[in-house]
Amino acid sequence: MKTKILIVAAVMSLSTVTYAQKNEVKAADKALNADNAAEAKIQLDKAAALLSEADDKTKALYYFIRGNTFSKLAKTGEAGAFEESISSFNNLIAFEEEIGKNKYSVAAKQSMSTMSGEIVNSAIEDNNEGKFEEGADKLYLAYSLSKKDTVYLYYAANSAVNAKNMEKALKYYNELKDLNYDGSEIKYTAVNVKTGETEEMDKAQRELMIKSKQYKDPKEEKVPSKKAEIVKNIALIYTQLGEDDKALEAYKEARENNPNDVNLILNEANLYYKLGNKEKFVELMSKATTVDPDNPDLFYNIGVINMEQGNIEEARTAYLRAIELNPGYINAQLNLSTTYVNEGNGLIDAMNDLGNSKADIAKYDELKNKKDDLFRDAALILENALKENTDNQGLLTQLKNIYGALGDTENFTRLKKILEK
């Protein structure tokens, strides 16, 4: 008899638990309908502890209400609410598939579709406010909801870079590469006659707007592929993370697909420079000049490396080309001048090693004249540069020092006064 009493008591206890759980779910539903998501969350938290004992109908309703509750809380800015909502809706869909029902799943899928746009808008707000980490997470979440919208993954990667979370950015960029994401498109725009603003729209809509005379000046803009940019960013991130071998491999792959992308060549060259392989750096920089022969920065950088390696004539040739392309290139002018100063300074050691014999004195005078000629060449370069940049402190200071080394008191004093003004 005792056993029967215990069994009856257990059944009664289970019935009480199920009833309480139903009441809390209903209370959550009522609170949500009254637009009180915070109260609904409280009731759902109470019901969660008893969920395993609930019947199928109550469980499905619980997941559905929880998804809607956190969807509303997300709009108030509650952290993690979007994720909670999506998790609840996914649990609902999986549960209804398991029990062979479809009472709430259709509405849940529609809610998630609507939520995707809300998540993107929230991510845009985060990025505008400098909350790049949060923005990246939300954009990735939006991509997770709609895998066809790969552009969200691309923007998530960019947000992660802005957040300086390179590991996360690398994950997203590699995912884009694996998806063979291209990103090229054609943007259709027209000018709103009333506001004068240029607006973007799809092609069919634009044609209707033009016909209505509400818009004018239709234009099409081709957005180039982002494949090269993605692989370049992967390589740059590997470099920042100290994984240089992976970075070089990424550049190799990128350049196979885009052999004439000068930015890829330059970034790979800079990595070789960082690794101390200056010969490879110069080789790649020279390659870049054939791709972009009118870029003064390329020639300037070639000059810098040749100068460091003691290849004076090659450095001068590069600097002269940079100045030819950009006559106001002050750094190239300063460095070109410095090549003559350095060569002149190199003669001073040889002068100091000479003795006092007649032959040594003659040799000394010869070297001194050569040194002074080099210094005058250096001064002439800077005097010409000053014609376009009369108050540049770097030019004035170096020129003053050259005249001081030449013993040219008149010009030294002239430049000293200019610098003191």
Q: Is there a domain that residue 129 lies in?
A: no
Does residue 328 lie in a domain region?
yes
Task: Let me know if residue 143 belongs to a domain.
Answer: no
Mean pLDDT, the chain, rounded, equals 85
What would the pLDDT profile of 249-297 be if each residue is shown by its tens digit? 988 888 887 788 887 888 888 888 888 898 888 888 888 889 899 999 8
Let me know whether 211 and 317 are in one domain.
Answer: no
Q: Is the pLDDT of residue 322 over 70?
A: yes
Question: pLDDT at residue 373 above 60?
Answer: yes
pLDDT at position 132: 95
Domain assignment present for residue 28? The answer is: yes
Q: What is the pLDDT of residue 4?
A: 46
Q: How far apart are CA 213 and CA 192, in angstroms?
A: 9
User: Would 86 be classed as within a structural domain?
Assistant: yes
Q: Which of 65-74, 151-160, 184-193, 353-362 is the most confident on average?
A: 151-160
pLDDT of residue 27: 73
Last residue of a domain, one of 103, 122, 138: 103
Q: Is the pLDDT of residue 157 over 90?
A: yes
pLDDT at 53: 67
pLDDT at residue 16 in the model: 41
pLDDT at 388 > cutoff 90: no
Is 234 domain-assigned? no
Tens digits of per-residue pLDDT, 231-249? 889 988 998 898 999 999 9
For residue 307, give every residue at least 6 positions away whose Cβ sits within 8 Å of its Cβ, in sequence order, or none.
315, 335, 338, 339
The number of distinct structural domains making up the chain is 3
pLDDT value of residue 21: 55
Q: What pLDDT sits at residue 116? A: 80
256 inside domain: no
For residues 332 and 411, membership in a common domain is answered with yes
Reply yes or no on whether the pLDDT at 136 is more than 90.
Answer: yes
pLDDT tens-place string over residues 99-117: 888 888 888 788 787 788 8
pLDDT given for residue 7 in this prediction: 41
Give yes or no: residues 214 and 300 share one domain: no
Statement to judge: residues 217 and 306 lie in one domain:
no
pLDDT at 216 exceeding the cut of 70: yes
Domain hosting residue 341, numbered range: 294-420
Structure tokens at 182: 């291209």
Q: How far is CA 278 from CA 136, 296, 309, in A?
A: 38, 20, 9
Is residue 416 included in any domain, yes or no?
Answer: yes
Is the same domain home to 206 and 304?
no
